[in-house]
Amino acid sequence: MAVGIFDSGLGGLTVLDAVAKRLPDVPLVYMGDSAHAPYGVRTPDDIYDLTTKSTQRLFDAGCDLVILACNTASAAALRRMQEAWVPDGKRVLGVFVPLIEALTERQWGDNSPPREVDTKHVALFATPATVSSRAFQRELAFRAIGVDVEAQACGGVVDAIEEGDMILAEALVSSHVDALKRKMPEPDAAILGCTHYPLMAKEFQKALGAHVKVFSQAELVAESLADYLERRPEMVGPGTDSAFLTTGDPAQVSSRATQFLRRQITFDAA
């Protein structure tokens, strides 16, 4: 009965934590590809190869459904995986759609034509690969009209978080928010379009100002997964044990993960 959750490193733990709270009885297998993080500066082909490898590891661990809790992989690899790679009986879902549905005030799976929404000026913070894919703008255009999106590629933030250098991460967040504000002085909403960024949510909110609504994905993804599993209960795979797997150094990754989630997390080698 396990569901797989994948990220390039530690960021997907923000999604895992929300899913574990929303679905406490579902075993979760987490796979973090820390040996190859960050993905945000890699090419789409490279991201595709690494993401399929990790997803296969999660299938092998008894997961039939894998959530790519990584915007970079969702943006650069998901569509290609769904079109040509995912085996029969398995599913791979990304993290963009639940977020965009929330931003555009839609119910899950509402595929009606695009319409005007209240939010007009959106600041998107994401990795360089996610920003250059324009996947967020493409998904948004299916659902909303008249929304102006200004994207800021936040180089360095994921590396700093993976290294546990939160002082550097905070300084980078503040300089990326300043850069965004020079292009869009008054955003109505901001999207934290990388699953590492909720770990810096307070810093983003502080730099943006209290009047900007900040959307982050963890709870939205957990809610939409709960809804999906209610409709497709058979997609909870045969695995029965929760696990944390990493391609990095298990001791170092466990210690950072424990620091971020404020509970003991023990990673094993993938």
Number of residues that bind ligand DGL (CB under 6 A): 17
- Mark whether 70 is an active-site residue: yes
User: Of residues 65-94, which lie at the interface with ligand DGL (CB under 6 A)?
Assistant: 70-72
Beta strand residue intervals within 69-193, DSSP E: 91-93, 115-116, 121-126, 144-145, 148-153, 189-192
Closest CA to 193 of 170, 224, 215: 215
* Using rule CB under 6 A, residue 11 touches ligand DGL: yes
CA-derived radius of gyration, the chain:
17
Closest CA to 100 of 243, 248, 224, 232: 224
* Using rule CB under 6 A, residue 54 touches ligand DGL: no
39 or 237: CB nearest ligand DGL: 39
* Using rule CB under 6 A, residue 38 touches ligand DGL: yes
- What single-letter DSSP state applies at residue 34? G
32 or 237: CB nearest ligand DGL: 32
Catalytic residue (one of 10, 67, 70, 73): 70
Residues 7 and 14: their CA atoms lie apart, in Å, by 10
Q: Which of 40, 62, 237, 239 binds ligand DGL (CB under 6 A)?
A: 40
Which residues neighbour 212 within 8 Å (Cβ) at sequence distance 6 or greater?
A: 123, 187, 188, 189, 190, 205
Closest CA to 108 of 236, 234, 233, 225: 225
* Using rule CB under 6 A, residue 127 touches ligand DGL: yes
* Using rule CB under 6 A, residue 136 touches ligand DGL: no
Interacting span for ligand DGL (CB under 6 A) from 38-46, 131-139, 238-246, 260-268: 38-46
Q: Which of 2, 6, 7, 131 binds ligand DGL (CB under 6 A)?
A: 7
- Mark whether 194 is an active-site residue: yes
Closest approach of ligand DGL to the CB of residue 127, in Å: 4
User: Of residues 139-198, which lie at the interface with ligand DGL (CB under 6 A)?
Assistant: 158, 194-196
Closest approach of ligand DGL to the CB of residue 68, in Å: 9
Name the residue type at position 142: F
Closest CA to 139 of 94, 100, 196, 86: 100
Closest approach of ligand DGL to the CB of residue 194, in Å: 4
Catalytic residue (one of 194, 207, 243, 270): 194
**Alpha helices (H) in 155-265, listed in sequence order:** 157-162, 166-183, 201-208, 218-231, 250-261
Residues 213 and 166: their CA atoms lie apart, in Å, by 23
* Using rule CB under 6 A, residue 130 touches ligand DGL: yes
Closest approach of ligand DGL to the CB of residue 41, in Å: 7
Evaluate whether 69 touches 3 at the Cβ level (below 8 Å): no
User: Of residues 224-243, which lie at the interface with ligand DGL (CB under 6 A)?
Assistant: none
Name the residues that contact ligand DGL, by CB under 6 A.
Answer: 7-9, 11, 37-40, 70-72, 127, 130, 158, 194-196
Catalytic residues: 70, 194
